């Protein structure tokens, strides 16, 4: 493919990307990809040093290059996750437990593609040559080659327990990120992600109802479900970024990305702990969801839980440290043994494959 | 036919007051002695951004962004009054999917 100059060129690349990853276009029926811009929550910048000024409609209105670079980076990271998730999930189409689930997966995939489209629209429209280059690179990285920008988006989604856990917890990180961007000082980004958020909720719904159906069916052992929670939640914690992030600090100062609870929070933002704050709010929400799932587990079976924030982390102060799922420090040797016990293993996969051969592992929808 | 108010109690709707809405709906249903109407909590309708969400089923009326003051009109509709169109904000394809899910009886 040639160099990308116009958005039409980018669309050609997008179609090539779909072919390259093996996504059959007929699955999408007559779905038309489009750019959606929702209404702004506020026309004025809502927080940070530029608070009260009119939101920036064009990049040229942004006062300096550091802010423009920071904004570009936020859009690139968001866009990268969208295309990556389709690459991770497309192999599940042939093993959908019901037709309803297959349709739900196709809907999730097409909306993630549209979100990637939306981010590329911003890059192509507002960021000149550097935006065009980044929009092209978003279609060149591949989850299955391990070169997507964030860890969760390179991890394999091997089966439908993976998928439901992913949509429950990783897409929920997406909700947090989009909410934090929905109050952005750059108006086209705020308008874009507000529209994307509406679609993101169906993805979390798919995860939540899918896990509920698995648990109610009672065929997949709870300890195996727990291992998938450990796998995805620990990597989802990383998605919130490092503990004392200067990027998050400046994104807040510049009004680009707010707190998840920006308008409910009574206290001033602690700009040195913004990622940590979001991660803790995410943890609280996940704990509530897991408690709700536990209501469906018979009393004689183990409860599900949310792993400790220190478990299996790849970034931040506890990156590479040897903590258990409950947050206890372990020796390096103990930790290796522990990981083999609390993360999915080839043996678990064999057991799941056998369980998945029968239809009754998940409540049927049709 | 028995009508059921399904009141979402997932995290986003709860944060926006769905627990209180459910209690108030239960109170109003009991006060009016409506034995053919039930109020039930619901796991999620996948439209959290527009919550709190309440679906009247099997009639299939979807009320989004419900506030306490809307309950009067919703109850009035139940008694034969007009649809509460201002609360009908959900994308048709999502509604169709969720109604399909409700029709299966799994949830």
Delimit the domains of chain B by residue range.
Answer: 3-104
Residues of A within 8 A of B104 (CB-CB) are 100, 364-366
Buried b / exposed e along A334-343 (16+ C-beta atoms within 10 A):
ebeebbeebb
Task: Look up residue A255 and give its two tokens.
Answer: 């009004």
DSSP B41: E
> By the 8 A CB rule, do A44 and A54 touch?
yes
Q: What would the pLDDT profile of A65-86 be if each residue is shown by its tens digit?
A: 999 999 999 999 999 999 999 9
pLDDT the model gives residue B107: 73
Q: What would the pLDDT profile of A18-49 be if each residue is shown by its tens digit?
A: 999 999 999 999 999 999 999 998 999 999 99
Interface membership of A365 toward B (CB under 8 Å) = yes
Across A197-213, average pLDDT: 92
Interface membership of A273 toward B (CB under 8 Å) = no
Whether residues A205 and B100 touch (CB distance < 8 A) is answered with no
Residues of A within 8 A of B100 (CB-CB) are 100
pLDDT the model gives residue A366: 59
**pLDDT at A127 exceeding the cut of 90:** yes
Q: What would the pLDDT profile of A239-256 be if each residue is shown by its tens digit?
A: 999 999 999 999 999 999
Q: What would the pLDDT profile of A12-21 be if each residue is shown by its tens digit?
A: 999 999 999 9
- Indicate the residue of A202, A285, A365 with minimum beta-carbon distance to B46: A202
Looking from the CA of A77 toward its CB, the CA atoms found within 13 Å total 17
Under the banding of pLDDT at 50, 70 and 90, the label for residue A263 is confident
pLDDT the model gives residue A1: 65
Predicted TM-score (pTM) of the model is 0.91
- Measure B40 CA to nearest chain A CA, in Å: 15
**pLDDT at A2 exceeding the cut of 80:** no
Reported ipTM: 0.76
Q: What would the pLDDT profile of B86-95 be if each residue is shown by its tens digit?
A: 999 998 888 9
Residues of A within 8 A of B11 (CB-CB) are 285, 288-289
Under the banding of pLDDT at 50, 70 and 90, the label for residue A101 is very high
- Measure A257 CA to nearest chain B CA, in Å: 19
pLDDT the model gives residue B106: 76
Across A308-332, average pLDDT: 97
Whether residues A212 and B43 touch (CB distance < 8 A) is answered with yes
| CA–CA separation, A338 and A335 (whole Å) | 5
pLDDT the model gives residue A330: 98
Average pLDDT, chain A: 95
Cα B104 versus chain centre, distance: 18
Phi, psi of A325, deg, nearest 5? -60, -20
Interface membership of B47 toward A (CB under 8 Å) = yes
pLDDT the model gives residue A296: 94
User: How far lies A29's CA from each of A60, A89, A173, in Å?
Assistant: 39, 18, 29
pLDDT the model gives residue B43: 86
Contact partners, residue A196, CB within 8 Å, separation at least 6: A36, A115, A118, A178
Q: What would the pLDDT profile of B58-96 be if each residue is shown by its tens digit?
A: 999 999 999 999 999 999 999 999 999 999 999 888 898
Contact partners, residue A352, CB within 8 Å, separation at least 6: A159, A161, A220, A224
CATH superfamily of A52-264+277-361: Ribonucleotide Reductase, subunit A (1.10.620.20)
Class of domain B3-104: alpha beta
- Indicate the residue of A107, A197, A205 with minimum beta-carbon distance to B44: A205
């Amino acid at each position: 493919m040639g160099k990308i100059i116009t958005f039409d060129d980018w669309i050609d690349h997008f179609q090539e990307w779909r072919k390259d990853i093996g996504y059959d276009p007929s699955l999408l029926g007559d779905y038309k990809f489009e750019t959606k811009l929702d209404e702004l929550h506020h026309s004025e910048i809502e927080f940070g040093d530029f608070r009260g000024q009119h939101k920036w409609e064009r990049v040229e209105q942004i006062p300096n290059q550091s802010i423009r670079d920071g904004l570009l980076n936020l859009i690139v990271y968001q866009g990268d996750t969208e295309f990556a998730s389709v690459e991770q999930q497309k192999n599940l189409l042939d093993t959908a437990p019901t037709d309803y689930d297959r349709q739900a997966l196709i809907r999730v995939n097409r909306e993630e593609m549209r979100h990637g489209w939306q981010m590329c629209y911003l890059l192509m429209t507002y960021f000149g040559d550097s935006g065009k280059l980044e929009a092209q690179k978003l279609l060149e990285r591949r989850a299955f080659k391990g070169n997507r920008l964030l860890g969760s988006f390179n991890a394999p989604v091997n089966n439908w327990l993976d998928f439901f856990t992913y949509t429950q917890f990783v897409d929920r990180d997406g909700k947090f990120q989009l909410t934090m961007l929905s109050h952005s000082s750059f108006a086209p980004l705020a308008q874009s992600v507000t529209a994307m958020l509406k679609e993101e909720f169906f993805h979390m719904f798919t995860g939540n109802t899918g896990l509920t159906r698995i648990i109610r069916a009672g065929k997949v052992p709870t300890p195996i479900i727990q291992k998938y929670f450990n796998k995805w939640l620990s990597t989802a914690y990383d998605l919130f970024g490092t503990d004392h992030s200067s990027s998050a600090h400046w994104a807040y100062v510049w009004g680009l990305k707010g707190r998840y609870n920006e308008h409910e929070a009574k206290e001033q933002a602690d700009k040195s702990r913004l990622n940590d704050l979001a991660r803790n709010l995410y943890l609280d929400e996940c704990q509530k969801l897991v408690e709700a799932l536990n209501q469906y587990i018979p009393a004689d079976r183990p409860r599900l839980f949310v792993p400790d924030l220190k478990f299996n982390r790849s970034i931040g102060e506890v990156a590479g440290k040897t903590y258990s799922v409950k947050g206890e420090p372990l020796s390096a040797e103990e930790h290796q043994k522990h990981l083999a016990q609390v993360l999915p293993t080839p043996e678990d996969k064999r057991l799941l494959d056998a369980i998945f051969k029968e239809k009754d592992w998940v409540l049927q929808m049709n | 036919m028995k009508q059921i108010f399904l009141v979402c109690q997932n995290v986003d709707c709860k944060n926006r007051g769905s627990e209180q809405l459910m209690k108030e709906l239960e109170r109003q249903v009991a006060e009016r002695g409506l034995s053919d109407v039930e109020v039930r909590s619901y796991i999620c309708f996948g439209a959290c951004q527009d919550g709190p969400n309440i679906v009247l089923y099997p009639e299939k009326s979807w009320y989004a962004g419900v506030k306490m003051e809307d309950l009067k009109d919703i109850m009035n509709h139940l008694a034969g009054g007009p649809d509460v169109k201002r609360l009908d904000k959900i994308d048709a394809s999502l509604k169709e999917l969720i109604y399909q899910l409700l029709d299966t009886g799994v949830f």
